[in-house]
Structure 1
């Protein structure tokens, strides 16, 4: 209520099951109303009632909320999981060329190697339902990467996630494949959401030929072209391709042993530098579980 007028200041989506209530990402408030987050969350919990809740996601850029949640009467935080999200805030560079000059020489050299090795190197980008045509290529490349790094890979589960994402976000989904020498070499898939771009999964045939770097820089340039002042983020699932290096997470290193920090390096420190980009001042996030008693 402001000036006697009742108006909407935020919204959230919550999945409710017999055992748990899960926030779909986070509680979204208008920028000018962020200071009311605790009061808004308390109102939501008052409406939903007692139970076990899960808040946060792997691709949220929201600041940690465990302290705010613990301060709400009746809430007991039972678990906190630190999650690393690599993020590039393009507003810190005046142009794409300026950003490119700021990359390490190693990143540029790797991308150039791919162009020199494959005369027919090209990147194919599909959106919406058209991404299904190239999903097999993405999964094949992810499987190769998982085998090299001895990672757990279950194709049926990945397809289910991909299909649900496609049904929910439709044209916001994109899938890009780099081809060279007549073969699929690397693939990225993600979401365009508002001005921001989220890279969610990837795969590569060979990490030594530079095609992964070429594709990554191509997609970063696409993200910059969409919205020069927005954010491009890499979800924790990207850690297998190690798109960024050289950063350490103060939050993760200080985490208690009961927490499970992500393996990938962090882009959370203002002084942090990475070989594929200069990391932006992106706040570390948390995934929380808590119980609400009434």
Structure 2
């Protein structure tokens, strides 16, 4: 009897110990699920967007292709073969044909991808640096500094961006460096306004006031406490600015203001293809197809990043 009583007295608490850790674990794990930062939650939402995730993979492949263009291209982009001018698809040694000078279109398209991405990423980096410098300074300092910088921003905003880029290319010359500077200067205005608005909101928060009360300098507060919390909206605008820069580079090439020949540019190749549209339509197909693929991929990635940083995403 004593043995049975002892076993019952031991079994009852054992049943309780199996239930209590489960409830405690649930109460402990719940905060951990919400303890991820905004970038972690944004990445989770981005991964659930299949179109954006596939587009990100395509963008990565395009970047790798541009980097490896000298290895992947069967010929140099300026190599000419006057014995095989305007040959079509599937020609011997030229799977995408040749142009009016006998240059391999596949090689020129791959190098054109390299030109487009160098200009796009370089211009966006330059524009982002200008936007951060002006937006952070104006938003944090306020007063006359803000009024002067925003007046300068409004003046720049009054110029049409494409017209300003054309003027800059005409002044600086037709080169990749000139295109980066021209497109970057033409595209920083909208981003600087966004940075200023973010800074004006964030600088009033408690942790910034605490850093200011602890004696932190203005540059330290701006770079360490304000800038990281303003990166989300900046990533969204940058993701849309990259395809816009690709389109701007191609548009300048169509106008004959792209990179200096014989350096290939998708805009220049499309412009040449339109002149030979009836005699050699293959000249237009390859650069136009790659241009459309890059534009769609980077635009869909931008859509995914925008939705990922949408604060209403956690409620979906």
Larger Rg: 2
TM-score bracket, shorter-length normalisation: under 0.3
Please identify which structure carries the higher strand content: 1
Please identify which structure carries the higher helix content: 2
TM-score (norm 2): 0.25
Relative contact order, CA 8 A, sep 6+: which one is greater?
A: 1
